[in-house]
Copies of this chain bind each other. A is one copy, B any other.
Amino acid sequence: MTRGVAPGLGLTTEEGAALEAHLSSLAPLSSRTWKALLALGQRRRLAKGGCFTRPGAPASHFAVVLSGLLRHYYVDARGKESVKAFRGPLDVSAPYAELILRRPSRTYIEALTRTELLVFRFDDFEALARDSVELQRLARRFGEVHFVQKEQREYEFLMLSAEERYRQFCARMPELLQHIPQHQVASYIGITPVALSRIRARSRRP
């Protein structure tokens, strides 16, 4: 593989091109800005089960997933996990709310499989973006897209039954079903693994 985009990073041309295309779909970047941005990133590998972020740690970085799969989740006082999100290739992964609020993370971000990340210090991004319309627009777009996702989730919790939420999940993220243990899907839609198993049994053969 050639390494033409950003030699220092070891990003392949394919990776770089896909990433640029994906980010450009949010907001276009001049090639100058794009290069400056990319220069801020650092490649990092996460073993299965490894954590990008854990509660208590200061929220200071965000990352683009190059390959692999991450899950974002909370853990309550009794140890119950609640899955907030999954992130795959080209998705941005971060303790986003905590970065915005400049508070310590309260979420785990954990690799479900071996995962490769392109990691950025948030403050580096902020410094680069300070007077850049392009990057402010990108950051704006990014916030908006994530807002829309959370509002969709709010809609589902307010308006749909657990069974309907499960159907939506299957329809919306069919690829994930292959790679994610079922009890984490249950947690994502806000029910227990037992309840999800019943829902599936019900819809398999009545």
Contacts and interface: CB of A to CB of B under 8 A. Distances in A.
Interface of A: 74, 76, 80, 82, 84, 96-97, 100-101, 131-133, 136-137, 139-140, 143-148, 150-155, 157-159, 190
Given A132-B133, A143-B147, 12 more contacts: A74-B155, A74-B159, A82-B158, A84-B151, A96-B151, A100-B144, A136-B137, A137-B140, A139-B140, A150-B150, A150-B154, A154-B157
27 contacts: A74-B155, A80-B159, A82-B158, A84-B158, A96-B147, A97-B147, A97-B148, A100-B144, A100-B145, A100-B147, A101-B148, A131-B133, A133-B133, A136-B136, A136-B137, A137-B140, A139-B140, A143-B143, A143-B147, A146-B147, A147-B147, A147-B150, A150-B151, A150-B153, A154-B154, A154-B157, A158-B190
Given A143-B140, A144-B143, A97 B158 contact: no
How many copies of this chain sit in the oligomeric assembly? 2
Contacts of A80: 159
Nearest to A139: B140
A125 to B, nearest CB: 12
Contacts of A190: 157-158
A49 B154 CA distance: 24
Contacts of A151: 84, 96-97, 150
Contacts of A143: 140, 143-144, 146-147
